[in-house]
Amino acid sequence: MKKFNTVILDVTVAILDFLYRGRDYPRFWVLEEIARAPYFAFLSVLHFQESMGLRGPKHLYLMKQHFEQSVNETEHLEYMESMGGNTYWVDRFVAKHLVLIYYWTNVVYYLLAPVSAYHLSYEVEIHAATTYAKYLALNDHEDKILEILNDELEHSRELQIAMEML
């Protein structure tokens, strides 16, 4: 499944990079909008399993982690909005449709293969950190982007721990 995750991610990223070339903040906004969805999806599944009496030993830890990650991703999204990333209708249209597909894909994926679902998000977080690092290398320094880059690396570490736990 790891190979499958990498192929899906590479194709999606190539399409977004092509559509958003030269438009950094709209691209970051779309990426942040999508990046939040898996955490809602993981939380939804964990809540559902809990309601069905299937609470595992790591359940509360994972729910707390995913809630904090989703809040943190929302803060990233708000920053991209403050930089005009969601100004245009077309970008909002693209992001809202992608997020709808991505949310439900993650719900099913996490329900059936949680470690593989975590791995996909791990790859997305590494891609996000790399994207921000490239931006910083090519543009004037921006404290907030560096802070967001470090948050994405922290998310990837948390996902790595979650994968090892299951």
Count CB-CB contacts under 10 A for residue 136. 14
Least distance to Fe ion, CB of residue 88, Å: 20
Residue 126 to residue 51: CA distance in whole angstroms = 32
CB 91 within 8 A of CB 31: no
C-beta of 53 vs 143, nearer to Fe ion:
143
Residue 32 to residue 29: CA distance in whole angstroms = 5
- Binding segment (CB under 5 A) for Fe ion, from list 16-24, 66-74, 100-108, 135-143: 66-74
- Which one of 76, 95, 118, 162 is in contact with Fe ion (CB under 5 A)? 76
CB 122 within 8 A of CB 163: yes
* Residue 156, CA distances (Å) to 54, 61, 89, 106 in order: 26, 16, 31, 17
Residue 91 lies near Fe ion (rule: CB under 5 A): no
Residue 127 lies near Fe ion (rule: CB under 5 A): no
C-beta of 35 vs 107, nearer to Fe ion:
35
- Which one of 155, 158, 159, 162 is in contact with Fe ion (CB under 5 A)? 155
Residues in contact with Fe ion, counted by CB under 5 A, come to a total of: 7
- Which one of 121, 152, 159, 162 is in contact with Fe ion (CB under 5 A)? 152
C-beta of 10 vs 68, nearer to Fe ion:
68
Least distance to Fe ion, CB of residue 54, Å: 27
* Residue 78, CA distances (Å) to 16, 32, 61, 81, 86 in order: 20, 9, 26, 5, 10
Residue 59 to residue 55: CA distance in whole angstroms = 6
Footprint on this chain of Fe ion (rule: CB under 5 A): 32, 35, 73, 76, 125, 152, 155
